Structure 1
Amino acid sequence: MSDSQQEVRRLGVETTGIEIIEESERTAQPRDLFWPWFAANVSVFGISYAAFVLGFGISFWQSVVVVVVGVVVSFALCGLIALAGKRGSAPTMIPSRAAFGVTGQKVPGVISWLTSIGWETFLTINATLATATVMHKLGWGGGTATKIIACIIVAALVVLASVAGYHIIMRLQSWLTWITGVITVVFMVVAASHIEWSKVSALPSGSWQQTIGALVMVMTGFGLGWINIAADWSRYQRRDASGGQIVAWNTFGGAIAPVILVIFGLLLAGSDDKVANGILDNPIGALADILPTWFLVPFLIAAILSLVSGAVLGIYSSGLTLLSLGVRIPRPSAALVDGVILTLGTIYVVFVAESFASPFQSFLITLGVPLASWAGIMIADIALRKGSYAEDDLFDTSGRYGAWDWTAIGTLVVTSVIGWGLVVNNFAQDASWNNWQGYLLHPLGLGTYDAKTASWSGDWAYANLGVLVALVLSFVAAYILQRGKIARQEAAGSDTTDDKTTTVDA
């Protein structure tokens, strides 16, 4: 290690990129996974999400079942992906090379990179606009100057933390957990006076199609949104760490806060139509409207820090994904590059673009289908393998995993095409170029398109059903088609040993 690298490490900055983690650094325990996942998901925006669940026309108790099952199952899937980090001693997209080939992995890798940096830019945009909204309500401005200051502060926090890397982020997330957690609990106490159980309990029940539609939406909005980075935080786990505990702590850390917050949001939105309708247009503003003035500043702090927490995890991981695509720069530099892109994107949307947010979200939702397909293939690969990955071969196109796995890539393409046929463009007016989606809904009797209003009707139309279908179909296909290949790979030689310290980059 060079003197400059040693100095960087002394300052607490992580220099490790996509190479195999040295045994001396693999000191994390499963319970350590609680902090990053909890901090990134203890967000007041979870309360706002309840309005979208009730929008499917289901009762409170149906919604509770949907939230508990959807959130827990989706984060459990993240936990399964997290096993790849421990087994491969590398971030998510490196063990994924075993399924797609060392070079072939770049296909889903590009999708993952675009999705990560896109969603984290969106979080930073929301943090900037949230600041302006609350400042306006306080009478402290809220105009251009406020947005500029907010943009600088939020972007600086996200970029600096993601550049610093794993160890500092883990400490940061533990602090954010307590700060945002306490403020969020106080928010719930203050807002509880707006709950009217008689109105909540009177919400009519919906059909089973509406219930399943809401379930799919919850899964895609929570755990599945993190699934492409799930192993980035488990690669520092000890080799003897329990796989079951890794899955359990990942699931518990990610799911506990959203379950509580969304259920509270169901009580709140179900009690007040004004709040429910306001959330659809302005989540921060609608929640701030019911608060006393004295609590607006703490509310702003909780909202911003929770968004920053999520953005930090995303930008850190997008930097690792960028390295896995073959960009040969140090990890801190990769995180800085993505941080600069995030900052420029935020500036453009907040200060320049007039109709960019909706098309931007539409594009990111479209990427969610192939990402779900990748997840199904990856989970099947993890389930079929009996031991750790052959770490050297993850960086060698002539190794046992090869350069390209056309079966996996073909499965990704086919299931994505099917999935796109079962999702619709939620922003049809602003992103009309994306209205080609949903082409299987009408033939299958799942929805009807009205060309005049550019909208869909039917219980399944806005359920994002294609995301779940792509996930399940790709898992089944990969589990059946890849069994023989994986058995031959594992028979080709012993997997990585406990003293492996490979540092090859690719």
Structure 2
Amino acid sequence: MSSAHLDSEVADSAKHPEKRGIEFIAPAERHGTAWALFAVWAAPNVSILSLTMGATLTLVLGLELWQAVLVIIASNLLWILPGIVAASGPSAGTSGSVITRAIYGIRGNRIVIAFYGWFVSGIFLALNWVASTFMGAELLRRLGMGNDTLAKALVTIAVSGITVLVAVYGHGLILRSYSVVTAALLAIFVVVTVFILSKADFGFVQPEPLGGLDLWISLSIGFAILASTPLSYSNSADMARYLPSETRTSRVIAATALGGAVPGVIFLSVGALLGTLVSFDALEIGIDFALMDMLPGWLGVLLVVGVVLNTVALNGMTTYTASMVFQSIGVPIKRIPSAVLIGVLGTIFTFVLAVSTSLIDAVNLMLQFLLIISVPTITIYATDILLRGNRYDSLQLFEQFPSGKYWYRSGYSVAGIVALVAGGLASALFLSTDVWAGPLALLLGGIDLSVPAGMAVSALVYTLLFKKSARKQEVA
């Protein structure tokens, strides 16, 4: 490794932009405690999207409240995977987009990360920005702005600009500010929750209760939609990489997993209750708008503020981690210009979605399709950590020549590439959406097993091939 990888340009601080990218973080610069990660992951998940996705379970999929809650709990158990992935950050001392060189090989990793870590990150930015765009534009409309397209453009540009600024300042700002952001978001969404609970009918029963195959279809699709959130966070190592290497792995896993799962379970459940309060016609205007109509005027404004704050928190982290992707694949660009570039990409995607579709349609459809890549990606990452005992050679991760440990065969790891393709194919075959249903999903009558099938296949294939090839090279 060159000295550039070992030396720090600036200390990790909230007071100035973070210049470090994927460079190795020396032991002397490590700091913080694992439990600080709880707020880092809680802030993005105190979200209007949680309310919208929760409402989908009861309003769109027709589940009873208790069925919806079971699906919510089951899907949020998958937060254990981002927790396991986060543990590799302190161990390797670098970005997850570099650590995965050990999984796919130096050249193979460039292909995987270029697509999933950059292009797909832009899509995730858009999915989250579009919520604040819709609601911010609606608030401007109610305040008298007549041009809806202009309102959406102004909100999108303003929110994306603030988000990119958070990403530019980076890890130090995120670590030190997200506890305050989490507290503010909790205050806003707790007030909204109290209002919803005051109107809720806890004895609600669907007019036409589901049974048999129809019930299993709704349960499986609901699980797939909700599971897409924890399964998308294969970037969790980036937020933990500044922790001292001796930090207990169990604490990193617990803080990350609980930070995402606790607010997820709470506010998705509140969303399921919300779905029982609004009519099916609410889908035409959007569940988020229906909620605004239910709330007192002052609380509606406060909710929009919360939505924007949550969007900045979530996308600030996503933009930050995506800004290191170009460096990890060998593009000669600094982290800060890269953050600006991914922000521009996400802004374009956001504006296209905002003027062409509804929020709930955009979210549900995109989240299901992204399972094809997110399911095997995070499953293989977590499996690799378990197989290696979370031990990575930090110096060799930066050795990008045939002499390096992680070069494998011509720069590609057969285990990683084959497992990724096999897992993605399994997810696609079992995926069930309005526009695409895999042949095996059709064989099951429309039941969506894309998540368990993709996880099982990718983990099994990677484990078998790792034991035959990658482990032999590690020993050598």
Provide TM-score, normalisation by structure 2: 0.88
Quick check: 1:131–1:147 contact (8 Å CA) kept in 2? yes
What whole-Å deviation, never above 9, does each CA across 1:126-157 have from its counterpart, x for those lacking one?
A: 21221011333455656344334322320111
Equivalent of 1:392 in 384, 395, 402: 395
Number of the residue aligned with 2:441 = 441
Distance 1:159 1:471 in 2: 33
Distance 1:307 1:48 in 2: 14
Q: Which runs of 5+ in 2 are unaligned?
A: none
After the TM superposition, which of the residue ranges 280-289 and 200-209 deviates more from structure 2? 200-209
- Alpha-carbon displacement from aligned partner over 1:13-50 (angstroms, at most 9, x marks no partner): 21111121121221121101111100000012212212
Residues 14 and 172 in structure 2, CA contact (< 8 A), matched pair in contact too = no
1:373 matched residue in structure 2: 376
Normalized per residue, which structure has more helix?
A: 2
Q: 1: CA distance between counterparts of 2:185 and 2:304?
A: 10
Match of 1:383 in 2: 386
Q: What is the deviation of 1:418? A: 2.6
1:91 pairs with 2:69: no
For residue 310 of structure 1, what is the aligned residue in structure 2?
A: 314
* Match 1:483 to one of 457, 467, 471: 467
Match runs of 1:411-490 below 5 Å? 411-426=419-434, 428=435, 435=436, 438-442=438-442, 445-447=443-445, 458=446, 460=447, 463=448, 465-490=449-474
Instruction: Output the amino acid matched with 1:60.
Output: L
Q: Let me know the Cα RMSD of the aligned residues.
A: 2.9
- Are the structure 2 counterparts of residues 42 and 356 from structure 1 closer, same or farther at C-alpha, using a change threshold of 3 Å? closer
Q: Secondary structure at the match of 1:388?
A: coil
Partner-residue secondary structure (3-state), 1:390: coil
Match of 1:224 in 2: 231
- 1:141-192 deviations in whole A, cap 9, x for unaligned? 5634433432232011111111111101222322211111101011112222
Structure 2 CA distance for partners of 1:98 and 1:467, relative to 1, 3 Å: same
CA contact (8 A) 1:89 1:236 kept: yes
Matches within 5 A, 1:265-414: 265-270=271-276, 272-274=277-279, 277-279=281-283, 282-350=286-354, 354=356, 365-396=368-399, 397=401, 398-402=403-407, 403-414=411-422
Give the Å deviation of 1:478. Answer: 1.1
The amino acid across from 2:450 in the alignment is G
In structure 1, the partner of 2:258 is 252
- Whether the 8 Å contact between 1:25 and 1:236 is mirrored in structure 2 is yes
Letter in 1 for 2:377: W
AA at the equivalent of 2:444: L
Aligned to 2:249: 243
Structure 1 residue 393: Cα displacement = 1.4
CA distance in 1, matches of 2:455, 2:243: 27
- Rounded to whole Å, the distance in 2 between the matches of 1:412 and 1:221 is 17
Contact 1:165/1:316 (8 A) holds in 2? yes
Distance (whole Å) between structure 2 residues aligned to residue 58 and residue 285 of structure 1: 22
TM-superposed deviation, 1:256: 0.8
Cα distance in 2, alignment partners of residues 248 and 319 from structure 1:
26
Residues 160, 255 of structure 1: alpha-carbon distance in 2 compared, 3 angstrom cutoff:
same
Cα gap change, 1:266/1:122 in structure 2, threshold over 3 Å: closer, same or farther? closer
Tell me the distance in 2 between the aligned counterparts of 1:313 and 1:339.
12
What's the CA shift for 1:94? Answer: 1.2
Q: Which residue of 2 aligns with 1:209?
A: 216
Say whether 1:169 aligns with 2:169.
no
Distance in 1 (alpha carbons) for counterparts of 2:429 and 2:349: 29
Q: Deviations over 1:407-443 (max 9, x none)?
A: 32122222322321221444x3xxxxxx4x513333x
8 A contact 1:53–1:214 mirrored in 2? no
Q: For residues 19 and 287 of structure 1, do their structure 2 counterparts lie closer, same or farther at Cα, with a shift above 3 Å needed?
A: same
d(CA) in 2 for partners of 1:374, 1:390 = 21
SS in 1 for 2:441: coil
Instruction: Tell me if 1:45 matches 2:34.
Output: no
Question: Cα 1:10–1:260, aligned 2, differ >3 Å: closer, same or farther?
Answer: closer
- Cα distance in structure 1, aligned partners of 2:417 and 2:349: 31
Q: Structure 1: which 5+ residue stretches go unaligned?
A: 429-434, 448-457, 493-506
Shift in alpha-carbon separation, 1:349–1:70, aligned structure 2, 3 A: closer
Of 68, 80, 87, 2:84 maps to 80
1:282: Cα distance to partner? 1.2
**C-alpha distance after superposition, 1:372-427 (max 9, x if no partner):** 1122222221111135211121122321221211232122222322321221444x
**Contact (CA 8 Å) 1:134, 1:288: kept in 2 or not?**
no
Shift of 1:90: 1.2
Deviations 1:340-362 (A, max 9, x none): 22233334554xx6469868985
Distance in 2, matches of 1:10 and 1:49, equals 33
- State the number of aligned residues: 461
Q: Is the 8 A contact 1:161 1:169 kept in 2?
A: yes
**TM-score, normalised with respect to structure 1:** 0.83
Alignment of 1:174-213 (within 5 A): 174-200=179-205, 204=209, 206-207=211-212, 209-210=216-217, 212-213=219-220
- C-alpha distance in 1 between matches for 2:12 and 2:261: 35
Matched letter for residue 291 of structure 1: L
| Contact 1:9–1:15 (CA under 8 A) maintained in structure 2 | no
Residue 51 of structure 1: how far off its partner (Å):
2.2
Shift, 1:484, TM fit: 4.1
Distance 1:412 1:256 in 2: 29
Comparing 47-56 with 75-84, greater Cα deviation is found at 47-56
Kept in 2, the 8 Å contact 1:115–1:364? The answer is: no
